[in-house]
Amino acid sequence: MSRTPKLFVVSGPSGVGKGTLVSLVREQRPDLGLTVSATTRQPRPGEVDGVSYHFLTNDDFDRRVEAGEFLEWANVHGNRYGTLASEVDRNLSAGKSVILEIDVQGALNVRKVFPDAVLVFIEPPSMEVLEQRLRGRETESEESLRLRLADAAGELELAPRYDERIVNDDLERAASELLRVLETHEMN
């Protein structure tokens, strides 16, 4: 069965379960390429530079923007985040599909550069569940949590512009749906 390597972009509000879903999918699809984004935010406990993100200073981030190294970048919840074009190119040229887990502004910008990219929006079953998940993760200060929940409303309004929408209700079910979305588009 031949598959065409594709660029998938997964977005959705903070705490909806993007990271959890994508790691489940990666277990089933170890052939997927890995990309590491750059950010100016501070590492959380346990995050490793070069693995979780490339943690950059503001000056370093500016230099890379100037040098045209980003496929896209955006201000998200008060910090800058960006996808290095080299990370995506390296994987696609090696015949590997890529999943970018990025915010909604970044996703829509990727589509402008890569019209073939498949945009997948992950939706929460409700705002209440979203808040419970974000609180349950225990990674955010109250201020950061409030900002992320306030941003979620505007992000959800952009869901209709995506190619695919998946509600992350039951984790296993949503992961199977995401796997099916990957396969369907790789066969086209």
Which residues in this chain contact ligand 5GP in the complex, by CB under 6 A? Answer: 14, 37, 41, 72, 74, 76-77, 81-83, 101-103, 106
Q: Pick one of ligand 5GP, ligand ADP, none as the site partner of residue 25 (Cβ within 5 to 8 A by kind).
A: none
Residues in a beta bridge with 72: 83
- Contacts (CB under 6 A) with ligand ADP, residues 114-143: 133, 136-137
- Options 13-21, 37-45, 82-90, 102-110: segment touching ligand ADP (CB under 6 A): 13-21
Is position 18 an interface residue for ligand ADP (rule: CB under 6 A)? yes
Is position 162 an interface residue for ligand ADP (rule: CB under 6 A)? no
- The H or E element spanning position 131 is helix 127-137
Is position 20 an interface residue for ligand ADP (rule: CB under 6 A)? yes
Instruction: List the Cα angle 127/146/108 in 5-degree steps.
Output: 70
Q: Of 127, 25, 11, 14, whose CA–CA distance to 79 is shortest?
A: 14
Q: Pick one of ligand ADP, ligand 5GP, none as the site partner of residue 64 (Cβ within 5 to 8 A by kind).
A: none
Q: b/e per residue, 78-108, with b = 16+ CB within 10 A?
A: eebbbbbeebbeebeeeebbbbbbbbbbbbb
Phi-psi region of 17 (alpha: psi -120 to 50; beta: other; left: phi over 0): left
- For ligand ADP, which residue of 113, 127, 150, 171 counts as binding (CB under 6 A)? 171
* Residues near ligand ADP, by CB under 6 A: 12, 14-20, 133, 136-137, 168, 171, 174
